Amino acid sequence: MLGMSQNVGHGPLGTSMVAWRLARGLDVDMCIELAGRGTISKATWSKLENGHRENYKPTTFAAVDRAFGWQVGDALEIWEGKKKPPPPPNGEQRASARTKAELAQMRRDIDDLAAVVRRLERLLPRDQ
């Protein structure tokens, strides 16, 4: 029963998520970055990978689609058993995904640094 929280093994979606993540040389944090900041938590990602069944929001499955570049709705259809998972990517796609995740991290770091600079500018006396 999908509404109850239970662990039923990886299942097709979890197995596919792990295969895609490993084939692209990504860790869970990088996948979450590719999915979009704030769209899926590390705990939820891990639950999906491990086949933990509960009522997930459609946006959760959409985050998985974005992380792997799947068609919108693929993750949900795989979860529901309506679609077979796509095969894992090749080496070229692996490098591309890793680069995107690293760039997303760099953008966050730059945003954080810019916020620190703005705070420091407010604290420093201004020349008149």
The answer to whether residue 50 is domain-embedded is: yes
Structure tokens at 80: 């529901």
The answer to whether residue 97 is domain-embedded is: yes
Count structural domains, the chain.
1
- Encoded amino acid at 85, one letter: P
Question: What pLDDT score does 49 carry?
Answer: 93
User: Which residue is associated with the tokens 């029963």?
Assistant: 1
Of 51-55, 116-120, 122-126, the poorest mean pLDDT is in 122-126
The answer to whether residue 128 is domain-embedded is: no
Domain range enclosing 33 = 6-123
The answer to whether residue 1 is domain-embedded is: no
pTM of the model: 0.66
Structure tokens at 108: 């966050």
Q: Cβ neighbours of residue 100 under 8 Å, at least 6 residues apart? A: 33, 34
- The strand pairing partners of 6, in sequence order, are 53
Q: Is 54 exposed, middle or buried (0-12, 13-18, 19+ CB in 10 A)?
A: middle
The CATH number assigned to the domain holding 84 equals: 1.10.260.40
Mean pLDDT on 100-123? 83
Q: Which of 76 and 4 is assigned the larger pLDDT? A: 76
**pLDDT tens digits, 56-106:** 999 999 999 999 989 999 999 999 989 998 888 765 555 566 677 777 777
pLDDT band at 6 (very low <50, low <70, confident <90, very high): very low
The answer to whether residue 84 is domain-embedded is: yes
